[in-house]
Each structure stands twice: as C-alpha cells, then as structure tokens.
Amino acid sequence: MISHIEPKDNVVFPCTAEVEGETFRFTLMDGSEKDLLERFGAGLEGADRVFMRMDLTNAKCIEDWAENVVAGRTRSVLVWNGAGDMVGFASLHQNKLLWTRHIGEMRIFLLGQYRMRGLGRLVAGMVLGLARTESLQIVFVNIPRLQPEIQEVLRHMGFQAEALLADWLIDPEGNTHDMIVMAYRFKERALAGGD
C-alpha cells in the first residue's frame, strides 16, 4: 500500500536519486530551457499530450512557462534519466499577489515508461517541499475524472478530493472531460501526525 507522501524539505538542486535501480537527476528550471522543452514536446506521443495542461508543441506555451519561472510564479523540477535524457517534469505554480496566495498548483508529467515506479511520488515530495518553503498551506492538482488510478495514488499520498467540475477539460480533439480537483493540506497533515 502507498503511504502518505512526506514533503522533501531542503533539497539542493541539482540532485540525484535512485528509483528501482536507476539513477535520476533533478534540476530546477531557470527559464533558459525553451529549446529543450520544444524538443521534449515534439517527441511526445499523442496519448501523452491528451491531458497535458500546456501544449508543449506550441512555442508560445513554452515561452509563457519560461517567463513564469523567471518571474518566480512557477518553480519547475526537470527529471533526467541516467543517459541524460529529459523524462519528465514537475511544477509548482502560484501567484503571490492574489487572495489565493496561500495555494499552489502542482503539475507532474513523466514519460509512460517512467510512470508507476515511484518516480512521480519522489518528485511530488520535492514539489511539496518547495511549497512548504514558500509557506503555502494547500497544494492542489487537477486530474481528469477518467483517470481513477491516478486519483487513487494521490489519495494514498495524502491528497483529498475537493471538487468535481463537469466538462472542465478539453482535449486536442475538442472533446470535453470532467475534472477532479484534489488537494494536499499542510495544516491537516500536521494535525494528523504527518509533516
């Protein structure tokens, strides 16, 4: 059984970790990675792009992402395999000027062959550590309703379902899908003996 996730505090980037016998490297984006992200996006299969919030084949999306990193609204961890290939990323998004400044959004994407191995859990812990460093109280994720296996993993990691939004997502083909919002609440986790 998957246990609640513990935020990884004081991670110094770049860093490495071993998952299932393979060493991975983790780096923080600085905004200069636009060409790298364009190449990564161009190599994605259609199935991988269906539920990505941003279209990594669109240079404007990548430009916006890089601008948000430089402005401090986004902190992104890039994930590299032992061969030096980028295999995914995890991001924390927040706006420190809004009345929701205590809330951040976490987004994680890993190439298919790197999913369900514990790598996503590891990088989620890193992002939650970044969130705690920013004094965030809540971190949420948006999950397509038709991905119950991801919802279950997040539930076991300490996230709770907060809302179901009908027809909230639209895929590249124009089909709408329901979205579930799940949240990790630091105060509740602390009271329950976590964090």
Structural domain spans, the chain: 15-191
Pair 190, 138: CB distance under 8 Å: no
Kindly indicate the confidence band of residue 1, based on its pLDDT and cuts at 50, 70 and 90: very low
Pair 67, 31: CB distance under 8 Å: yes
Per the structure block, which two tokens stand in for 128?
């939650």
6-10, 64-68, 149-153, 184-188: lowest mean pLDDT where? Answer: 6-10
15-191: CATH architecture: 3-Layer(aba) Sandwich (3.40)
State how far the Cα of 4 lies from the Cα of 17, in Å rounded to an integer.
19
- For residues 86-107, give the mean pLDDT: 95
Identify the CA nearest to 117 among candidates 25, 40, 2, 4: 2
User: Which residue in the block uniquely carries the two structure tokens 């899908």?
Assistant: 177
Tell whether the model's pLDDT for residue 47 goes beyond 80.
no
State how far the Cα of 138 lies from the Cα of 117, in Å rounded to an integer.
26
Tell whether the model's pLDDT for residue 142 goes beyond 70.
yes
Helices (H), the chain: 34-42, 46-49, 59-71, 119-133, 148-156, 186-191
- For residues 36-45, give the mean pLDDT: 90
pTM (two decimals)? 0.89
Tell whether the model's pLDDT for residue 195 goes beyond 90.
no
Kindly indicate the confidence band of residue 3, based on its pLDDT and cuts at 50, 70 and 90: low
Kindly indicate the confidence band of residue 55, based on its pLDDT and cuts at 50, 70 and 90: confident
